[in-house]
């Protein structure tokens, strides 16, 4: 009895969520991206193995926390490019549109308070333009961005990649 009731609840929930998946192309604001079941799935399958389901990463493995941090990078053009070009994102199996959607989801989910009012979501074209430019040195790029943000009085999550013992 209990199980059947639970099943009915899940079915109702899935039915209620289904139309949202079709609305993805028209998304604009940050909140919209949280409704994207595809972005959620892509994050969980392609990114969460390292970045964890709660976006907290693993500091002892050099994976930075997204919470109250990743949105800060969207304030700088070089920061947006960094988010696209970082190896875990650029070299994922996601196509440009999917990667743009996941990045938008990450910002909306873990760091919505850190963007500015003129924030624009990532687009497929923006991702395509930067994605192929591999970093020679990710650590150097991140360190430079950290300094720029700190000069603006902002503090991104600690970044330990490259400075830990392996």
- Interface with ligand HEC by CB under 6 A: which residues? 46-47, 49-51, 62-64, 69-70, 83, 86-89, 92, 94, 102-103, 138, 142, 156-157, 159, 161
Q: How far is the CB of 35 from ligand HEC (least distance, A)?
A: 18
- Minimum distance between the CB of residue 33 and ligand HEC, rounded to whole angstroms? 13
Dist. CA 12–CA 127, nearest whole Å: 36
Smallest gap, in angstroms, from Cβ of residue 83 to ligand HEC? 4
Question: Are residues 55 and 66 in contact, defined by beta-carbon separation less than 8 angstroms?
Answer: yes
- Residue 58, strand partner residues: 63
Q: Is 63 helix (H, G, I), strand (E, B) or coil?
A: strand
Give CA torsion, residues 92, 111, 129, 159, to 10 deg: -70
Asked if 21 and 38 touch (Cβ cutoff 8 Å), the reply is yes
- To the nearest whole angstrom, how small is the minimum distance from the Cβ of residue 84 to ligand HEC? 8
4 vs 60 by CB, closer to ligand HEC: 60
DSSP notation for 105-157: HHHHHH-GGGS-TT-----HHHHHHHHT---S-HHHHHHHHHHHHHHTT--PP
Name the residue with the smallest CB distance to ligand HEC. Answer: 88
Nearer to ligand HEC, 27 or 94 (CB): 94
**Residue number, 70 or 108, with CB nearest to ligand HEC:** 70
> Closer CB to ligand HEC, residue 6 or residue 61?
61
């Amino acid at each position: 009895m209990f199980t059947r009731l639970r099943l009915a609840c899940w079915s109702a929930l899935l039915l209620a969520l289904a139309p949202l998946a079709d609305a993805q192309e028209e998304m604009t604001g940050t909140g919209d991206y949280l409704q994207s079941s595809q972005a959620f799935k892509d994050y969980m399958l392609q990114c969460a193995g390292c970045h964890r389901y709660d976006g907290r990463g693993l500091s002892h493995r050099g994976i930075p926390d997204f919470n109250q941090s990743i949105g800060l990078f969207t304030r700088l053009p070089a920061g947006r490019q960094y988010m696209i070009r970082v190896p875990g994102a650029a070299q994922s199996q996601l196509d440009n549109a999917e990667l743009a959607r996941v990045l938008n989801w990450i910002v909306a989910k873990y760091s919505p308070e850190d963007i500015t009012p003129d924030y624009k979501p990532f687009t497929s074209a923006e991702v395509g333009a930067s994605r192929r430019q591999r970093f020679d040195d990710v650590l150097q790029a991140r360190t430079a961005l950290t300094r720029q943000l700190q000069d603006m009085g902002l503090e991104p999550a600690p970044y330990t990649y490259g400075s830990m013992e392996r």
